[in-house]
Amino acid sequence: MESYLSENFEVKPKHSSEEVLERWRKLCGVVKNPKRRFRFTANLSKRYEAAAMRRTNQEKLRIAVLVSKAAIQFIQGVSPSDYVVPREVKAAGFQICADELGSIVEGHDIKKLKFHGGVDGIVEKLSTSTTNGITTDSELLKRRQEIFGINQFAESEPKSFWLFVWEALQDMTLMILGVCAFVSLIVGLAMEGWPHGAHDGLGIVASILLVVFVTAMSDYRQSLQFRDLDNEKKKITIQVTRHGYRQKMSIYDLLTGDIVHLSIGDQVPTDGLFVSGFSVSIDESSLTGESEPVMVSTENPFMLSGTKIRDGSCKMLVTTTGMRTQWGKLMETLTEGGDDETPLQVKLNGVATIIGKIGLFFAVVTFAVLMQGLWSRKWQAGTYLWWNGDDALEMLEYFAVAVTIVVVAVPEGLPLAVTLSLAFAMKKMMNDKALVRHLAACETMGSATSICSDKTGTLTTNHMTVVKSCICTNVKEITKPNKASSLCSEIPDSVVNLLLQSIFNNTGGEVVANKEGKLEILGTPTEAALLEFGLSLGGDFQAERQATKLIKVEPFNSTKKRMGVVLQLPEGGLRAHTKGASEIVLAACDKFLNTKGEVVPLDEASINHLNVTINQFASEALRTLCLAYMDLDTGFLGEDPIPASGYTCIGIVGIKDPVRPGVKESVATCRSAGITVRMVTGDNINTAKAIARECGILTDDGIAIEGPDFREKSLEELLELIPKIQVMARSSPLDKHTLVKHLRTTFEEVVAVTGDGTNDAPALHEADIGLAMGIAGTEVAKESADVIILDDNFSTIVTVAKWGRSVYINIQKFVQFQLTVNVVALVVNFSSACLMGSAPLTAVQLLWVNMIMDTLGALALATEPPNNELMKRPPVGRKGNFISNVMWRNILGQSLYQFLVIWNLQSKGKAMFGLDGPDADLVLNTLIFNSFVFCQIFNEISSRDMEEIDVFKGILDNYVFVAVLSCTAFFQIIIIEFLGTYANTSPLTFCQWLLSIIIGFLGMPISAGVKMIPV
């Protein structure tokens, strides 16, 4: 079976081709209810629709760009447009409408933009300001919403409970049973009248309705959980200036006229116009499929919703929102396309298909055998030419039994159990600070054998402070603000001014006043630490920014490992400032500031002193940054690149970022679970090694390597080196990608990778599970990830692995339980029909058994919470069989016991219990049915652990499991004692009840004995 499944029902956890997804759908035969079975699979037709829309967008934008380029040549001859401001827009206080704005930005219409006075003209017509944004007066905001709309996309209406009931009723076998019930009702009433003639028909109808409502309730609860998770995924915030204050705001609260601050890695939240910024390039592939980045500037100011900032930073004016944008229209189609199905869902569809075909064959044979028995009896009696209502009812009962065998045999619930387990796990993981974006990641994480983790913010707290500095060769500890201010007295004023100029101008952060008038630092933790250091030195952020003019900015990225700016000084002249990885920036310096603040050449002794200082800081687990500057010739132009060398070193700072509490224990947990943890960081190798040792990642037999060294290794060297690598420092995104690729392909490991920056996207995409940081992560990283770690904590990653293992094992437990019921129900009814000429389990009874093993079984076993024992087992890895030998051992052992017990009851039951009289067959069949159900109840308990003998451990912690078992036992009593006329049962004596329970219970020691058989 496993090889057949691998060949035909194998999909990747992500990025499966459309052909593969199409293939397994075509192979799915014997599907009882396609609407339910394929509810959580991708809608491929909607995917094709979205791809066609992307191609259309690409063509439209290509034409728009060509037209706008042509328009620039004739811009001088712009004739007044015939645009007239609609009356309601004018009455609301605006001079331009939403449609006109949409046509300008979406059509890249330079001509129209020029006619409206360029970006400044649009700003004026929208009654906003590039410095203060829109006003927050509630009446004005309401008018703005009415005229231009809100930034929300159309969503499909949530399905009601009754729609799930309707979908559950689409089950083909239940429909056939419904028809059987109707015919049984008509024939029964015609022959026996009311109420006796209606019992069989009403029994089947009641059973069908019970199955339908329990199924619908389970599906409805799942849909509510998925909707909650979808709402969590949409919580995206962005920096906005509104009413003069810079603040974080949900992208769904943005209005036309807002001023949005965007930087590298952000997703453009609306259509808009570039106001100001530096080196902005945009990736439009999500909208157009075009991978070539587009440069945005005052000459090409058009920015489209859904595109991503690849480099640079800027301010953008919001022009068009929500469903008026192309992204809004595309999102509607993409949402309907759905997520890819998970590997387990597809594999279990395969299992359901195989067993369904076997079940269908057995059902047909069973019906044929029963009909042959009826025909033989009538032939011997000589009445084969005369058929009456009793014969019709008997034939109908045989047909209903055959159909019900199909109901029980086709394990439709298998693929849905995956979804149920994943929905349960995803909801619980959300509480544990992990947001699962793709269902498959949840189950894949359970097989992870390797985790490549960032250092900053994941293993460390991301609360950074400058604790040491080396300015003018003077090393000083700065543990308190007063120590920082005393530093000013120890270094010349000219150096202090230069240092503050560097800190406050060469930064991606900002110091702003909040609504209470207090200073607030915005930016990454590293930038915030430096800005805080600058403020503690007595600096004034706004005064420094206003004293100079920014000419050029090259933002930090993980390839260059430094950032730079060019300033126009108040006294004239240009100055470049750079900061970044200490050894990289120091290598670009040929001068430094001595103790007197004088610029002197950087000789070998000074270089050695500074390198020793860097290594000393790094060995204390400090992140080191070097700050440098150079004065430029007046001939420097804004288009020129900032020089790469010739700088004067201002100084080095050491930034402390403490290791998170609990990380060492989490790394140890991973090691005991057979998961290798590697640190991949852009930091200095000594800092990385110090932190890795503190976390327990770097061991005596492990290797720490730098990215540049790793890149130079040959393939043969890499194959020998990679298994031993525990730390990679000064790594580029390409190094991370190469490491992940080799681990996945060459070493066949299941790799989880963390990332927070835009450049981490390729590695996140390549990994089996991409983990993005929720706090430090950019939107681009989150978009490429499968799971978002909301608290940026490594311990949460371990929790995700634990939940992943729990999902995988829970589904295995449920599959083991359901296949056992399948095998026994099939063999019992088939063998009884062949050898005895009758089936002991009626249609109503089989429907009840189906519900126990399908919906209720999934609820009980697929929602078992994880325990710490899970992290003491080795991972499944890439090659593990889902239906393992252990499972086959348990299934066959338990099935054999149940079959022998029921067969003995059927063949010798009357003699054993002294049953005689007209009701003997009914009582015996009731006893068989009752014993069979209690066998399933106790087998459900045994299935809680596939290898451990103690299956009661922690049973009371899982209230769902206890509730399901209690309800099953309670309703079994009701069916036997009070619903006999509908369920074809007879009330049992106390001894018979006791025997049924003992037979069921004996399955547990049998199961424990089977578990001791080695496989």
Measured CA to CA in angstroms, residue 787 lies from 315, 628, 780, 782, 783 at distances of 30, 39, 13, 8, 10
Contacting residues for 110 by C-beta, under 8 A, at least 6 apart: 68, 71, 72, 75
Task: Look at the alpha carbons of 43, 49, 55, 60 in this order and tell me if their dihedral is positive or negative.
Answer: negative
Q: Which residues pair with 821 in a beta bridge?
A: none
Q: Give the burial class of 878: count Cβ atoms within 10 A of its Cβ; 0-12 exposed, 13-18 middle, 19 or more buried.
A: middle
Which amino acid is residue 393, in one-letter code?
L
Is there a contact between 464 and 657 (Cβ–Cβ < 8 Å)?
Answer: yes
DSSP H helical segments within 234-381, as ranges? 285-288, 326-337, 343-381
Question: Of all residues in the chain, what percent are helix, strand and coil, respectively (each to 5)?
Answer: 55, 15, 30
Contact (Cβ atoms closer than 8 angstroms) between residue 386 and residue 153: no
How far apart CA 315 and CA 806 sit, in angstroms, is 46
- All residues at 6 or more sequence positions from 947 whose CB lies less than 8 Å from its CB, including other chains: 886, 1011
Q: Quick check: is 633 catalytic?
A: no
Helix axes 343-381, 18-27, angle to 10 degrees: 10
DSSP-based three-state secondary structure for 460: strand
Q: Three-class SS of residue 313?
A: strand
For strands 676-680 and 450-453, give the pairing.
Answer: parallel
In a 3-state reduction of DSSP, which class is residue 941?
A: helix
Q: How far apart are CA 48 and CA 972, in angstroms?
A: 49
Distance, in Å, from the CA atom of 651 to the CA atom of 565, rounded to the nearest integer, reads: 17
Taking the CA atoms of 619, 625, 626 and 627 in sequence, report the sign of the dihedral they define: negative
By the 8 A CB rule, do 554 and 565 touch?
A: yes
Question: Of 313, 295, 304, which Cα lies nearest the Cα of 272?
Answer: 304
DSSP 760: G
Helix, strand or coil, per DSSP, at residue 274: strand
Give the containing element (helix H, strand E) for 124: helix 118-125
Label residue 406 exposed, middle or buried (CB < 10 Å: 0-12, 13-18, 19+).
buried
Tokens 């089989």 belong to residue: 846
Catalytic entry in 454, 657, 735, 786:
454
Q: Are 93 and 144 spatial neighbours (Cβ–Cβ below 8 Å)?
A: no
**Cβ contact 98:148 at 8 Å:** yes
Helix (H, G, I), strand (E, B) or coil at 754: strand
DSSP E strand boundaries for 443-572: 450-453, 465-471, 474-477, 510-513, 519-522, 549-554, 562-568
State the Cα angle at 698 between 695 and 703, rounded to 5°. Answer: 155
CB of 769 within 8 A of CB of 441?
Answer: yes
Structure tokens at 359: 């079940």
H or E stretch at 394: helix 389-409
Measured between alpha carbons, how far is residue 74 from residues 64, 69, 106, 114, 292 in Å? 15, 10, 20, 11, 27
Report the C-alpha gap between 148 and 128 in whole angstroms.
14
Residue 137, token pair as written in the block: 């007066």
974: Cβ contacts below 8 Å, ≥ 6 apart: none
Catalytic residues: 454
